[in-house]
Amino acid sequence: MAGLEQGLVQVYTGDGKGKSTAAFGLALRACGYGLKVVIVQFMKTPDYSEYLAFPRLAPEVEVKTFGRKGFIHRGGARPEDYEQARAALDYAREVMHSGRADILILDEINVAHFFGLLKEEEILALLAERPPQVEVVLTGRNAPPGVIAAADLVTEMRQVKHPYEKGINARQGIDC
């Protein structure tokens, strides 16, 4: 396949599990057709299992993480967290304009906004620069209203039931 004729903007948000997983499923599907996918992970480190798996899909799929170890609590971000979010946004912009991605996945960018690391206007400015043949996918809870309005497809995952409620912690290879 020679790339996409028309790219769109997709958002996966909500309080349910599966937002990143849906985006990564799209990456797998695109890889099957030889499309180039770049995944930019906000607020994540290479400790997540998907980071270990994606090199197996190279060269069609590339992943780069921007974050520090440990959790960020809303209102408790460190200067490094802001720097990492800015670096991720700058990297995403460079990739989007480089021609090396048919699909650009901005994993957890909505959470970076919710935690105050990025402004909604910055995300919307990036989307406004999107070349027409590039698909952009934004994941994470609490998608900003402007991002939802700018998107072509919005899916909200809703939690109905979760194993955490029974005391079952995140399982390696399943949840993290």
| Residue 166 predicted with pLDDT over 70 | yes
Measured on CA atoms in the order 9, 119, 89, 174, is the torsion positive or negative? negative
Distance CA 143, CA 41 (A): 15
Residue 164's pLDDT band (boundaries 50, 70, 90)? confident
The average pLDDT across 13-17 equals 96
pLDDT at 170 over 90: no
**Mean pLDDT, the chain, whole residue set:** 93
Question: Tens digit of pLDDT for each residue in 75-120?
Answer: 888 999 999 999 999 999 999 999 999 999 999 999 999 999 999 9
pLDDT tens profile 90-102? 999 999 999 999 9
What's the whole-model pTM score?
0.93
Residue 176 has pLDDT above 80, yes or no: no
- Is residue 8 pLDDT above 60, yes or no? yes
Q: Give the rounded percent of residues in the chain with a pLDDT score beyond 90.
A: 75
Q: What pLDDT, in 10s, does the model give residues 21-41?
A: 999 999 999 999 999 999 999
- pLDDT confidence of 157, banded at 50, 70, 90? very high
pLDDT value at 1 more than 60: no
Among residues 17, 1, 25, 5, the alpha carbon closest in space to that of 137 is found at 25
Domains of the chain from N-terminus onward: 9-166 (3.40.50.300)
pLDDT surpassing 80 at residue 71: no
Q: Once rounded to an integer, what is the mean pLDDT over residues 56-71? A: 91
What does the DSSP assignment read for 106-148?
EETHHHHHHTTSS-HHHHHHHHHT--TT-EEEEESSS--HHHH
